[in-house]
Amino acid sequence: MIRTRFTTIASVALTLVMLISMQPAVQAQTAATARASVQTASGVQSPAEFLGYELGERFTFHHRMVAYFEHVAANSDYIALEHYGTSTEGRPLMVVYISAPENLNRLEDIRVNNLRRTGLAEGDPDPADQTAILWMSYNIHGNEAASIEGSMQTVYELANPANRDTKPWLENTLVIMDPSLNPDGTERYAVWFNQVVGRHFDPHPLSREHREPSPNGRLNHYHFDMNRDWAWQTQRESQLRNAIYQRWLPHVHADFHEMGGYRYFFAPAANPFHTSITDWQKEFQTTIGENHARHFDAVNHLYYTGEVFDLFYPSYGDTWPTFQGAIGMTYEQGGSWGAGLAVTTPEDHLHTLEHRLGNQHRVGMSTVEVVSRNHDRVAAEFQRYFDTSRNDPQTTYKTYILRHDGNRDNLRAMLELLEAQQVQFGTAPARRNLRAFNYQTGATEAISTTGEDIIVSMYQPKSVLANVLLEPRTTVVDSLTYDITAWSLPYVYGVTAFATTERLNPEGDADAVLNTAPQQAVTDPVYAYIFPWQSFEDARFLARLHREEFRVRLTSEPMQVGASDVPRGSIVITRHNNDHIDGFDDAVQALSAEYGRTPIATGTGLNPASIDVSSESVAFARAPRVVMFTGEDVSGMNMGEVWHFFDWQLEYPITLVDMDRVGQLNFFDFDVMVLPAGRYNSLLTGTTGDRVSDWLSRGGRLIVLENVITQIGSLRGVDVPEAKSPDEEEVDAMDDRLRVFGDRRREGMSSSLAGGIFRTHIDVTHPLGFGMPETYFSLKRRTDAFEYLNRGWNVGHIPADGFTSGFVGYKVKPVVEESLNFGVINVGRGQVILMVDNPLFRGFWYSGRLLFSNAVLQNM
Ligand SMILES: [Zn+2]
């Protein structure tokens, strides 16, 4: 079949090229060539025959699972396999296409026809082709390993010539199966478990085989939860998967997981539903659930539906496909609390891997069955979804207007994320007067567009997804949600934005606005090159200069250089001190071109209208040596966010030291210490605490995140800010002693904060605030709040009317408002930098990256 063509498409670059410029003629030719070279084989082995053990007897290593899928693909006319890249640690990522041979022979036609249904490919869809496209994703949480085992049974039964049930399904349905979305986590779990299990499993819940150490297999290499990353795509695996997902856009997406307990959860999902979810999407979830229930009833297995797992936060494996026209679902088998091969439940029942993987297989087969039975309706409703999006979008706002205000970096980064998800945009018509919601002020006001504005119209195929990501306030149907409730991209990226109910059509290509002026050839002798400090891209550029061993200076005061305003924090590279750089001018210009920076090249150090280029206020900035601590007492996910930030975002070295080694560490080997959330008793108290205090007073810089703020009081000269609590009278007024037991879940929400956006006022004259806007929108996920620092700089504080978007309990809001967010305490020549909110949360809050970069790179 055409599997050979797919196995050769290994590189991302090629996949992306295909995405951008489809050339059916060329591809058809390649496919024909490939067909001729592949022999049809027979004899698909069962998983047990191939692996040498029955599924459920042990956890399968990732490479053995890959080998099994390759075996099935090589021996069945019903399967074609495509590698779509490699994980962070280099393991293959792949999907298999499962359908009747005649469908696999015209796979490219099916794909293009489907994109025509959406309007993302040119031409009208062929009404005769009603092939349903079902995508099944497994094991995004690597330690929820029953699904990967079950996936092998499912691919076998779909390919097995002796299974007569499945073949009619595959006449009208294309199944795309990704058996392992998180290979590194999968392998981490399997290797660990196989190391600790004895000759026979031990079902005692406290035996070590049920107690996985940190970092556990749920997370990927950088300890990210990739089931929170579908929309933000900060992780390599998410980016690669998005590229292939966008080529297909399936009609149904099932995401296989495991949860606590030992029951099974399947669709329909629970409130809160995002308001954009259509009646058809809800209806077919119910149809699917009914089919599963029938199969579970037949074997008397325990299950439930509709109580948990909301469809709201857009970066899950159920919501993200849902907002792109699919029926998106999470399936959850009980067992991820460490059930291992078998565990005794509180009911004295032996809960086995065999049972768990059997259910994952059962639900997978049932999904293929019910989709096939409804294939024509599924395909037709998918098309209708996109017809509605393009012609009659059901959104409040019809156009989003984005403005760069002279700094294009944040806007460009935001548009890249939208573009990767096939959201279309273009330039605005000039001088259109209209009323629009202003994201900065929260008011609806009269504005006038300019030809430099970028607009995203809701009259386009991906309008639902675009609207969910851009709308200023998410509409909560019910306040009980499972994750953060605020993510509006203009706040995430710090982009000036407006939303209007008027329809505007894009006029021109956004590139004309986004691309900065070309580099100017410099002919006169240059005294210094100056780079304004405005965005995270400038921080990445500085990190690179440090890596290349340029000697750089940073200005702590504004400068006027010729006609250019140079803001605080800007980078100054003087010819003096840089004799060691070969071909100095060429080197600076090559690097600035690589990063899209436009230098101000000055031939003199004299600035008549401001401080001079070599002023004392333009101080040498040494490349900081950074260390972070790891270990059982450190939040693995928070640590991973910082680690990923340094490795992939800032691209700057960081040393990770286990807390066990703190006693041996010479703190003076480092300039900056980062303490992610965790417990740091052994570091911050006793004689080690004294050593940290010495290091601080002699110029060290300590960055503490979230709960670490309450632990730094043991350091010399550091006062922990006072915790804020609700006003006594307010508490009395909210007497809840006579509350009703049945309302307890909802009551609990009054003092919770499900992730909300709060306006934070930044002191942009402090180095921690350099280059930042005066209003930074901060994602707040924790209810603890602090009074302003008495001795120190309250660089970021949440003002009285700071609440902007999201769900915040009424008891929490007054505590969080008028509180400290980012502070700096000077200790001798050093500083402690406090971050109440973690600006690197999940790696997606783009505008927080500059703040964190300042904490590391700016002189203080
Ligand atoms: Zn999961």
Token pair listed for 88: 């962070």
Cβ atoms of 488 and 474 within 8 Å: the answer is yes
Residue 713 C-alpha to ligand 1 middle, in angstroms?
Answer: 38
Residue 537 C-alpha to ligand 1 middle, in angstroms?
Answer: 34
Is residue 555 located within the same domain as residue 588? Answer: yes
3-state helix, strand, coil in the chain (%, to 5): 35, 20, 40
Q: Kindly tell me if the per-residue pLDDT of 668 is higher than 70.
A: yes
Residue 225 C-alpha to ligand 1 middle, in angstroms?
Answer: 9
**Using one digit for the tens of pLDDT, what is the confidence trace for 266-277?**
988 776 677 788
Is residue 122 located within the same domain as residue 216? Answer: yes
Cβ atoms of 308 and 482 within 8 Å: the answer is yes
Residue 218 C-alpha to ligand 1 middle, in angstroms?
Answer: 7
Q: What is the mean pLDDT of residues 398-407?
A: 93
Question: Could you tell me if residue 283 is inside a domain?
Answer: yes
Concatenated DSSP letters of 166-227: HHHHHHHEEEEEES-S-HHHHHHHHHHHHHH--SS----TTSGGG-PPSSPTTS-TTS--GG
> b or e along 219-258 (b: 16 or more beta carbons within 10 Å of the residue's beta carbon)?
bbbbbbbbbbbbbbbbbbbbebbbbbbbbbbbbbbbbbbb
Concatenated DSSP letters of 392-404: S---S-SEEEEE-
**Using one digit for the tens of pLDDT, what is the confidence trace for 678-695?**
999 999 999 999 999 999
Please state, in angstroms and rounded to a whole number, the distance separating the CA atoms of residues 336 and 739.
34
Contacts of 8 (CB under 8 A, 6+ apart): none
Please state, in angstroms and rounded to a whole number, the distance separating the CA atoms of residues 248 and 644.
29
Question: Could you tell me if residue 519 is inside a domain?
Answer: no
Q: Do the strands 399-403 and 496-500 form a parallel or antiparallel pair, or are they unpaired?
A: antiparallel
Residue 482 C-alpha to ligand 1 middle, in angstroms?
Answer: 13
Cβ atoms of 256 and 346 within 8 Å: the answer is no
Residue 515 C-alpha to ligand 1 middle, in angstroms?
Answer: 41
> b or e along 32-52 (b: 16 or more beta carbons within 10 Å of the residue's beta carbon)?
eebeeeeeeeeebebbeebbe
pLDDT (0 to 100) of residue 371: 98
Q: Kindly tell me if the per-residue pLDDT of 25 is higher than 50.
A: no
Residue 257 C-alpha to ligand 1 middle, in angstroms?
Answer: 4
Token pair listed for 749: 């929400």
Please state, in angstroms and rounded to a whole number, the distance separating the CA atoms of residues 645 and 652.
9
Question: Could you tell me if residue 740 is inside a domain?
Answer: no
Q: Kindly tell me if the per-residue pLDDT of 202 is higher than 90.
A: yes
Q: What is the mean pLDDT of residues 631-636?
A: 94
Question: Could you tell me if residue 457 is inside a domain?
Answer: yes
Residue 368 C-alpha to ligand 1 middle, in angstroms?
Answer: 21
Give the lowest-confidence range in 278-282, 320-324, 734-738, 799-803: 734-738
Q: Which of 514, 537, 558 delimits the end of a domain? A: 514
DSSP state of 475: P
Residue 369 C-alpha to ligand 1 middle, in angstroms?
Answer: 24
pLDDT (0 to 100) of residue 854: 98
Would you say the C-alpha torsion 18, 19, 20, 21 has a positive or negative sign? Answer: positive
Domain that holds residue 617: 528-621
* Tokens 């099916």, residue located: 110
Question: Could you tell me if residue 437 is inside a domain?
Answer: yes
Residue 196 C-alpha to ligand 1 middle, in angstroms?
Answer: 23
Residue 797 C-alpha to ligand 1 middle, in angstroms?
Answer: 36
pLDDT confidence bin for 326, thresholds 50/70/90: very high
Q: Helices 236-248 and 409-420, interaxial angle, to 10°?
A: 50
Residue 140 C-alpha to ligand 1 middle, in angstroms?
Answer: 7
- Cα 35–Cα 41–Cα 42 angle in degrees, nearest 5: 145
Q: What is the mean pLDDT of residues 482-492?
A: 81
Q: Kindly tell me if the per-residue pLDDT of 361 is higher than 70.
A: yes
Number of domains in the chain: 4
pLDDT confidence bin for 5, thresholds 50/70/90: very low
Q: What is the mean pLDDT of residues 693-701?
A: 98
Is residue 248 located within the same domain as residue 287? Answer: yes
Please state, in angstroms and rounded to a whole number, the distance separating the CA atoms of residues 259 and 307.
13
pLDDT (0 to 100) of residue 184: 98
Question: Could you tell me if residue 463 is inside a domain?
Answer: yes
Would you say the C-alpha torsion 794, 795, 801, 806 has a positive or negative sign? Answer: negative
Please state, in angstroms and rounded to a whole number, the distance separating the CA atoms of residues 165 and 749.
48
pLDDT (0 to 100) of residue 837: 96
Is residue 380 located within the same domain as residue 427? Answer: no
Residue 94 C-alpha to ligand 1 middle, in angstroms?
Answer: 19
Contacts of 197 (CB under 8 A, 6+ apart): 58, 209, 340, 341
Residue 319 C-alpha to ligand 1 middle, in angstroms?
Answer: 14
Q: Kindly tell me if the per-residue pLDDT of 11 is higher than 50.
A: no
pLDDT (0 to 100) of residue 267: 84
Give the lowest-confidence range in 47-61, 361-375, 491-505, 799-813: 799-813
Is residue 96 located within the same domain as residue 221? Answer: yes
Is residue 593 located within the same domain as residue 693? Answer: no
pLDDT (0 to 100) of residue 741: 61
Q: Kindly tell me if the per-residue pLDDT of 737 is higher than 70.
A: no
Token pair listed for 434: 């209209």
Please state, in angstroms and rounded to a whole number, the distance separating the CA atoms of residues 462 and 390.
8
Backbone φ, ψ for residue 175 (5° rounding)? -100, 125
pLDDT (0 to 100) of residue 406: 81
Backbone φ, ψ for residue 499 (5° rounding)? -125, 130
Three-class secondary structure of residue 228 per DSSP: helix
pLDDT (0 to 100) of residue 13: 38
**Using one digit for the tens of pLDDT, what is the confidence trace for 56-74?**
999 999 999 999 999 999 9
Q: Which of 350, 373, 389 delimits the end of a domain? A: 389
DSSP state of 329: E
pLDDT (0 to 100) of residue 120: 98
Residue 260 C-alpha to ligand 1 middle, in angstroms?
Answer: 10
Is residue 270 located within the same domain as residue 417? Answer: no
Residue 332 C-alpha to ligand 1 middle, in angstroms?
Answer: 7
Is residue 225 located within the same domain as residue 288? Answer: yes
Residue 10 C-alpha to ligand 1 middle, in angstroms?
Answer: 27
How much of the chain exceeds pLDDT 70, in percent?
A: 89
Residue 185 C-alpha to ligand 1 middle, in angstroms?
Answer: 12
Please state, in angstroms and rounded to a whole number, the distance separating the CA atoms of residues 87 and 101.
30
Token pair listed for 659: 């807390």
Residue 265 C-alpha to ligand 1 middle, in angstroms?
Answer: 12
The CATH code of the domain that includes 842 is 3.40.50.880
pLDDT (0 to 100) of residue 23: 39
Residue 138 C-alpha to ligand 1 middle, in angstroms?
Answer: 9
Q: Which of 364, 389, 414 delimits the end of a domain? A: 389
Residue 423 C-alpha to ligand 1 middle, in angstroms?
Answer: 28
Token pair listed for 666: 């010479």
Residue 354 C-alpha to ligand 1 middle, in angstroms?
Answer: 18
Cα dist from 699 to 624, 685, 688, whole Å: 12, 19, 17
Is residue 832 located within the same domain as residue 853? Answer: yes
Q: What is the mean pLDDT of residues 543-572?
A: 97
Helices (H), 472-527: 489-493, 511-514
Please state, in angstroms and rounded to a whole number, the distance separating the CA atoms of residues 799 and 182.
41
The CATH code of the domain that includes 559 is 3.30.70
Token pair listed for 692: 């940290």
Question: Could you tell me if residue 552 is inside a domain?
Answer: yes
Q: Kindly tell me if the per-residue pLDDT of 787 is higher than 90.
A: yes
Three-class secondary structure of residue 268 per DSSP: coil
pLDDT (0 to 100) of residue 810: 73
pLDDT confidence bin for 809, thresholds 50/70/90: confident
Q: Kindly tell me if the per-residue pLDDT of 735 is higher than 80.
A: no
pLDDT (0 to 100) of residue 14: 37
pLDDT (0 to 100) of residue 6: 34
Q: What is the mean pLDDT of residues 384-398?
A: 96
Q: How many CB atoms lie within 10 A of CB 141?
A: 27
Residue 333 C-alpha to ligand 1 middle, in angstroms?
Answer: 9
Residue 716 C-alpha to ligand 1 middle, in angstroms?
Answer: 44
Is residue 585 located within the same domain as residue 648? Answer: no
Strands (E), 667-751: 672-675, 701-705
The CATH code of the domain that includes 44 is 3.40.630.10
Residue 484 C-alpha to ligand 1 middle, in angstroms?
Answer: 17
Q: Do the strands 79-86 and 618-621 form a parallel or antiparallel pair, or are they unpaired?
A: unpaired
Please state, in angstroms and rounded to a whole number, the distance separating the CA atoms of residues 265 and 268.
9
pLDDT (0 to 100) of residue 699: 97
Residue 145 C-alpha to ligand 1 middle, in angstroms?
Answer: 10
DSSP state of 620: E
Higher pLDDT, 167 or 480: 167
Cβ atoms of 637 and 223 within 8 Å: the answer is yes
Is residue 67 located within the same domain as residue 141? Answer: yes
Residue 194 C-alpha to ligand 1 middle, in angstroms?
Answer: 21
**Using one digit for the tens of pLDDT, what is the confidence trace for 442-457?**
999 999 999 999 999 9
Cα dist from 116 to 109, 111, 382, whole Å: 10, 9, 11
pLDDT confidence bin for 744, thresholds 50/70/90: low
Three-class secondary structure of residue 304 per DSSP: strand
Question: Could you tell me if residue 739 is inside a domain?
Answer: no
Q: Kindly tell me if the per-residue pLDDT of 4 is higher than 70.
A: no
Residue 141 C-alpha to ligand 1 middle, in angstroms?
Answer: 5
Residue 9 C-alpha to ligand 1 middle, in angstroms?
Answer: 29
pLDDT (0 to 100) of residue 783: 83
Residue 137 C-alpha to ligand 1 middle, in angstroms?
Answer: 11
Q: Kindly tell me if the per-residue pLDDT of 9 is higher than 60.
A: no
Residue 144 C-alpha to ligand 1 middle, in angstroms?
Answer: 6
Cβ atoms of 468 and 323 within 8 Å: the answer is yes
Is residue 500 located within the same domain as residue 561? Answer: no
- Cα 127–Cα 130–Cα 131 angle in degrees, nearest 5: 145
